[in-house]
Chain A
Amino acid sequence: MLFTTDKQTQEDLNIYGKQGADSILSLFNRTATLNGCKLLEELFRYPLSDAEAINARIEKIRYLKTVKAVFPFSSELFDQAEQYLANTDERTKLLAEKPSLEKMLTSLVASNADYKQIVNGISALIEIIQQLNSLLNNTLLLAGSPLKRDEETTEIYKLLNTEPISLLLKENPKNKLHYEKLSAFDLMLRFRYRETVQQLLRYIYQLDVYITVAKVATEHSYIFPKALSKEEHVIKIKGFYHPQLKNAVPNTIHISPNSNVVFLTGANMAGKSTFMKSLGIAMYLAHMGFPVAAMEMEFSVLDGIYTTINLPDNLGIGASHFYAEVLRIKKVAKELSTGSNIFVIFDELFRGTNVKDAYEATIAITSAFAIKRNSVFVISTHIIEAGDILKERCANISFKYLPTRMKDTIPEYTYTLETGITDDRHGMIIINNEGILELLKKGKEINQ
């Protein structure tokens, strides 16, 4: 089963970002090859929902990180190889017999572009395959490497060491090939064993991605999460932070079926949205088997992630914004009713309606979500009153808040999660700071 998510979530978490702007993808998007970049995007599009697969990928990247693996290939080789392989026209096939004198003369006068491409492609492939072989022997398949257990790697290794690919290993790429050999390799690489060659290349692109990710993990000192089986229903993340923020404050959270609803309160600038985004990004990357911005992470694999952080306001504020929120909740509800265990984030639930409706709706929705013990919900709201009722009704809600410390009348924020419901009441403080009531009072006196 696939790990499900949607566009709204990816936009909220800034997974792909807007064109040109920084995103989570661009954080990792430093592959050497173009096809590696495409593969990376694919990994982002399809996170995994299987603990074994996740852990296997994590193992590989972790190993590459420990041995400080470097991608040994030059990216031009792949351009030549791919161009060469893309030419499937049988008429360009190098014939087995020697070309006639006439043809040789023609090619002397006007060089044949196809022929040149074929020669370059073949020697590029020879170089690639030889380098792959030494990479496997010298790094990937050393004793203690998790890749030794990897089926795919074993298969690749076997392919390299059996004919016909093994023939390529014997060539010296610096020497010019004889025409007979060229035509034999052309037939083999481009036509007869085309799929095998492509499989080898795909493996290399994947290595490119993993080596890049390992490098990024080293540079940013990200850690590798541990995926637990679906049945355990726990999430433990220590010291996670937003990967795109400088000086981000780390936080720790522990979620189990007895505390699977996080009810988050705090003033507007206290960092609720950033906290939720950091958590969402960590969960997303972890389900890809990627390193995360945290100190430690263990998580039970879930079936999907749905966030609602910046619901577009294009419907107009008021009843229609409220309705957009209602529809979003309905979507999540439908997902839940299929029995999936999902990770749900709602920021400022029901901010589009009046406080009374928001109060009732927050209680109703949150307590309904709370029944779903195997899913995880993080809900932030400014309606602190709803928290008091929810505390009585549901035992599995964990109340967290981001505090505001008042320095006289200037608020300061710690960005560090604490347990409980904040009673920070900033509304009246802000109104008082703006001096609205005094303004009106003074004006009245002057006018009289």
Chain B
Amino acid sequence: MSFIADKQTLEDLNLLGKYKQHSIFSLFNKVKTDGGEQLLQTMFQTPLVDSEGINKRSEIFKYFQDKQSTFPFNNEQFSAMENYLSGSSGKNYVVIFLTLAKKKLLATIVRDEEYPKIQSSLQQTIAVLNHCKTFISQLEEGEKEKQHQQDHPFYDELLTVKNILNDPKLEWLTAEKTSAIQYDLQKTAQYDHLLRHAMREALQTVMETFYQLDVYIAVANLAQQRGFSYAQALPQKANYLNATDLKHPNIDKAVANPVSFHQDSNMIFLTGANMAGKSTFMKAFGINIYLAHMGFPVAASHMEFSVKEGIYSSINVPDNLDMGYSHFYAEVLRVKKVAEEVSKGKDLVIIFDELFKGTNVKDAYDATLAVTAAFSEYRNCLFIISTHIIEAGEVLKQQTNIQSLYLPTIMNGTIPTYTYKLQPGISSDRHGMMIIENEGILEIIRSAAN
């Protein structure tokens, strides 16, 4: 089972998508190899739900962040090797030898290009494998001063790779390191047989480990550069979350806020004017929760959290007018979907931004109040609910597990400024009218009044 986040949530938080502007995936996508990118995509698509797995992965990131290594290859070298290893010249040495002899003959007579191609990719592959070997021993060397080599979280994987590369069958690798001359036919056939047939699976493992290395090093370096930290995952049942200086990972100069939830305070009732940063705060929270469940670095100086089973958000619910759904009905269906999941007893993170827009004031008030109160009974989930219906907040204050927070607006004459800093309490700030007044619309209409 994997951490649940549906399409609406992924869109709200702009998590996935290589070509989407400012997506969180593209923020982290600094890997060098195609294989690494695929692996990163898989990690983004399947966050984890066990605290051990999460903590183990973040340990590895941390380790590489401390080492500040760089991934020593570029994509071309790696894809050349991958291409070469995925092909085959034959099943056994004799067949390979004959096939290659035929190709060599063809190359001499009719300038067929296959033989020289095989030779050059073989040479490239040997060069990359040698490079891998050096890189692993370098990693190890740095480790020698430390007493417990085995403590290093990526030790097992590296050991496997090292053993494969030091296999006696590959002893000749080092010798061929510097050879610039072309191998003769016999040697080519011998190496080709070894790499593409005898050692095929082992070398596949080597490549996969290096894809992992690519991801770990890229993400660790990004964390270093952005000053991200690693969240500590706690077992599921506690329903505890504490974060300091939480901010949006993709916004420069984002303002940091602390967030804290526990069993008896599991819902945030958020108020504030339209531009005060409610949505950004909610998105920042959702993104960091998601990243934390991937074991990835988070945009906070410190974070501890009980593992959850999934996240649902309702921030930009599109109205589906083609199907005859109004905005209001689209929101109702979204709330229903979340209610279904919550009522199954799942431990979820729920984010609702400004519910029930497309209806009248009274209904919006009734609906917000009823829905919020019903959800708040679920102490195993975490909720952030934002609204302009402050009256609902006054009533909900009676529920002890609701924290009321707001994002303030400070008026500088008629120009609103925002601190983006959470404050306890409920705010009645609004400035829809102010926008209308700043545009001078009422004056324009009245100006020629007859």
- Nearest B residue (CB) for A265: B360
A30 to chain B, nearest CB (A): 29
- Bound complex: CA of A318 vs CA of B342, how far in Å? 27
Contacts A/B (CB < 8 Å), 15 sampled: A268-B328, A317-B317, A319-B275, A327-B439, A337-B444, A350-B432, A352-B357, A355-B389, A357-B274, A371-B449, A382-B358, A385-B360, A425-B362, A430-B328, A439-B340
B388 within 8 Å of A (CB atoms): yes
Interface contact A268-B363, CB-CB below 8 Å: no
- Bound complex: CA of A65 vs CA of B444, how far in Å? 46
**Stretch with Cβ within 8 A of B (4 or more), from A102-110, A163-171, A293-301, A361-369:** A361-369
- Bound complex: CA of A385 vs CA of B329, how far in Å? 20
Q: Which of A318, A336, A383, A444 contacts B377 (CB 8 A)?
A: A444
B344 within 8 Å of A (CB atoms): yes
B329-344 Cβ-contact flags toward A at 8 Å (1 or 0):
1001101100110111
Interface contact B436-A365, CB-CB below 8 Å: yes
- Bound complex: CA of A355 vs CA of B368, how far in Å? 12
Interface contact B360-A447, CB-CB below 8 Å: no
- Bound complex: CA of A269 vs CA of B284, how far in Å? 36
**CB within 8 Å of A: which residues of B?**
274-275, 279, 316-319, 321, 324, 326-329, 332-333, 335-336, 339-340, 342-345, 354, 356-364, 366-367, 370-371, 374-375, 377-378, 387-389, 430-433, 435-436, 439, 441-442, 444-450
B425 to chain A, nearest CB (A): 18
A270-310 Cβ-contact flags toward B at 8 Å (1 or 0):
00000000000000000000000000000000000000001
Q: Which of A365, A374, A426 contacts B450 (CB 8 A)?
A: A374
A323 within 8 Å of B (CB atoms): yes
Interface contact A355-B448, CB-CB below 8 Å: no
Residues of B within 8 A of A178 (CB): none
A210 within 8 Å of B (CB atoms): no
Interface contact A434-B360, CB-CB below 8 Å: no
Interface contact A354-B336, CB-CB below 8 Å: no
- Nearest A residue (CB) for B432: A357
Residues of A within 8 A of B339 (CB): 436, 439-440, 443
Interface contact B367-A440, CB-CB below 8 Å: no
Residues of B within 8 A of A329 (CB): 436, 441
- Nearest B residue (CB) for A374: B450
A211 to chain B, nearest CB (A): 38
Residues of A within 8 A of B329 (CB): 268, 430
- Bound complex: CA of A383 vs CA of B388, how far in Å? 15
A contact residues, total (Cβ < 8 Å): 63
A343 within 8 Å of B (CB atoms): no
Q: Which of B343, B366, B432 contacts A443 (CB 8 A)?
A: B343
B433 to chain A, nearest CB (A): 5
* A339-B448, A372-B449, A430-B329 known; A355-B361 Cβ under 8 A: yes
A428 within 8 Å of B (CB atoms): yes
A-B contact count (CB 8 A): 184
Interface contact A322-B274, CB-CB below 8 Å: yes
Residues of A within 8 A of B274 (CB): 318-319, 322, 353-354, 357
| Nearest 3 interchain pairs by C-beta | A443-B343, A357-B432, A427-B363
Residues of B within 8 A of A360 (CB): 430, 432-433
B297 to chain A, nearest CB (A): 29
Q: Which of B361, B367, B389 contacts A383 (CB 8 A)?
A: B361
- Nearest B residue (CB) for A369: B445
A425 to chain B, nearest CB (A): 6
Residues of A within 8 A of B364 (CB): 355, 427
Residues of A within 8 A of B435 (CB): 322-323, 326
Residues of B within 8 A of A323 (CB): 435
A351 within 8 Å of B (CB atoms): yes
- Bound complex: CA of A323 vs CA of B367, how far in Å? 26
- Bound complex: CA of A203 vs CA of B324, how far in Å? 46
A245 within 8 Å of B (CB atoms): no
Interface contact B366-A428, CB-CB below 8 Å: yes
Interface contact A355-B445, CB-CB below 8 Å: no
CB-contacts of A122-145 with B (<8 A):
none
- Nearest B residue (CB) for A334: B444
Interface contact A425-B363, CB-CB below 8 Å: yes
Residues of B within 8 A of A175 (CB): none
Residues of A within 8 A of B447 (CB): 337
A358 within 8 Å of B (CB atoms): yes
CB-contacts of A403-448 with B (<8 A):
425-428, 430-431, 434-437, 439-444, 446-447
A192 within 8 Å of B (CB atoms): no
A174 within 8 Å of B (CB atoms): no
A338 within 8 Å of B (CB atoms): yes
Interface contact B332-A436, CB-CB below 8 Å: yes
Beyond A348-B358, A357-B430, A369-B445, 10 extra complex contacts between A and B, CB < 8 Å: A268-B329, A313-B319, A327-B439, A353-B357, A368-B441, A371-B449, A382-B358, A425-B360, A443-B339, A443-B378
- Nearest A residue (CB) for B375: A440
